[in-house]
Amino acid sequence: MRAWEENIRKVIPYVPGEQPKQKNVIKLNTNENPYPPAPGVRRALLRFSDFSYDNLRKYPDPTADALVESIAGYYHLEKDQVFVGVGSDDVLAMAFLTFFNSSKPILFPDITYSFYDVWADLFHIPYERQPLDEKFRIVKSDYEKKNGGIIFPNPNAPTGILMELDEIEEIVKQNQDVIVIVDEAYIDFGGISALPLIEKYDNLLIVQTFSKSRSLAGMRVGYAMGNKTLIQYLNDVKYSFNSYTMNQIVLAAASEAVKDEAYFQGTRKKIIETRERVKKELKKLGFSFEDSMANFLFVTHEKYWARDIFEALKRSHIYVRYFNHPRIDNHLRISIGTDEEMDRLIAFLREYLEERKEQGKA
């Protein structure tokens, strides 16, 4: 090792889902929305192109006021209850940096969003993973011990399992001396947000994203909601780190995305209906899974190894997600695409499994 390497901060990085470069693939590996953004987003981009080109020489609004106002209005909050960032990853990283500074470990599930331990290691935050039960559910009693903060997704990832609101409140109620963060990236696909609890508990932060239900993963827009003091602390860290986190084009487009409720509800409904139909089809093929309330399914097969299925799908240009981690290395996470994409997936799996059966291979 060279002398200067001794002072390098070394972490094991988060590994994102594969982004295939070739065309004509079925991409079901990163939980993107299969439908385009709301029409207002396109109109905002055209307006910006026509009238605001010259403004690109100027810095964007550091307060992201138009977007903050849109989000606050949608959720019936005050503007100073909303914080925005470059995707929910940026918002969550800021939250880790801001709120998790105790000598006690923060707590999160052992099977969950794999960025949590990366941020904890990066910022030298002690942490403990709490094992999910045999059905991949959070055990509430594990979060009753002394800790430096708590974070978990709801629905959880990659399992898609939803925790009911009363159970979330029990965890928050038991931990009012630390910050509890509920990561609601997938809440729009079948759950009830814990957002109303922020009026009752000043230590609760809700984080959501435009990447999933708003079809704006390519623009990177995330936000947090909580009491005014929490949001002020987040902004203090943001302005100490990078004042201009969101560019002008993103601010204009994302503000429009919030406004089209009919389009949002329509695409959300289509994804949910497709998910429920695919659940039935996969069960017929021998797959099993807990009941997902997200825009993906986390499946295993009773006879055939997940990695073999993953590789076979990839050879046919169908991409799903495989995690080579303990307890889940025989599972696949399958994002919900369009009906046509899911029909092609099911047809491939049906043919593949039939071939394996004829070959007598397990």
pLDDT per residue over 185-243, tens digit each? 999 999 999 999 999 999 999 999 999 999 999 999 999 999 999 999 999 999 998 88
The reported pLDDT for the residue numbered 107 is 98
Query: Average per-residue pLDDT in the chain?
Result: 95
Range of weakest confidence among 56-60, 76-80, 92-96, 327-331: 56-60
The reported pLDDT for the residue numbered 15 is 85
Q: In this structure, how many other beta carbons lie within 10 angstroms of the beta carbon of residue 345?
A: 21
Mean pLDDT of 303-309: 96
The reported pLDDT for the residue numbered 55 is 83
Beta carbons of 223 and 83 less than 8 angstroms apart: yes
> Both tokens of residue 34?
């299969």
Taking the mean position of all CA atoms in its chain, how far away is CA 108?
Answer: 15
- What is the topology classification, in CATH, of domain 39-259? Aspartate Aminotransferase; domain 2 (3.40.640)
Mean pLDDT of 162-181: 97
> Both tokens of residue 312?
């076979």
The reported pLDDT for the residue numbered 241 is 87
The reported pLDDT for the residue numbered 46 is 87
Residue 362, pLDDT > 60, answer no
The reported pLDDT for the residue numbered 27 is 97
- Annotated domain spans of the chain: 18-37+262-359, 39-259
| 150-153 and 180-183 beta bridge pairing | parallel
Mean pLDDT of 181-186: 98
- Specify the CATH number for 18-37+262-359; select among 3.40.50.300, 3.90.1150.10, 3.40.50.150, 3.30.930.10: 3.90.1150.10
Q: Angle at the Cα of 254 (from 248 to 257), degrees rounded to 5?
A: 150
The reported pLDDT for the residue numbered 53 is 78
The reported pLDDT for the residue numbered 17 is 85
Residue 334, pLDDT > 70, answer yes
DSSP 109-162: ESSS-TTHHHHHHHTT--EEEEPP-TTS---GGGGSS--S-EEEESS-TTT-PP
The reported pLDDT for the residue numbered 359 is 83
Range of weakest confidence among 118-127, 242-251, 273-282: 242-251
Range of weakest confidence among 10-19, 57-66, 92-101: 10-19
Residue 177, pLDDT > 60, answer yes
Mean pLDDT of 260-285: 97
- Candidates 180, 166, 168, 171; CA nearest to 230 is 180
> Both tokens of residue 291?
């009941």
Spatial neighbors of 124 by CB under 8 A, at least 6 apart, are none
| 204-209 and 180-183 beta bridge pairing | parallel
**Local confidence band at 315 (pLDDT 50, 70, 90 cut-offs):** very high
Please report, rounded to a whole number, the percentage of residues in the chain having pLDDT higher than 90: 86
Range of weakest confidence among 58-62, 130-134, 269-273, 312-316: 58-62
Cα(72)–Cα(79) distance, integer angstroms: 5
**Local confidence band at 165 (pLDDT 50, 70, 90 cut-offs):** very high
Cα(71)–Cα(231) distance, integer angstroms: 14
More confident residue, 256 or 14: 256
The reported pLDDT for the residue numbered 62 is 94
Beta bridge partners of 170: none
Please report, rounded to a whole number, the percentage of residues in the chain having pLDDT higher than 70: 99
Cα(112)–Cα(211) distance, integer angstroms: 18
**Local confidence band at 361 (pLDDT 50, 70, 90 cut-offs):** low
Model pTM? 0.95
Beta bridge partners of 27: 319
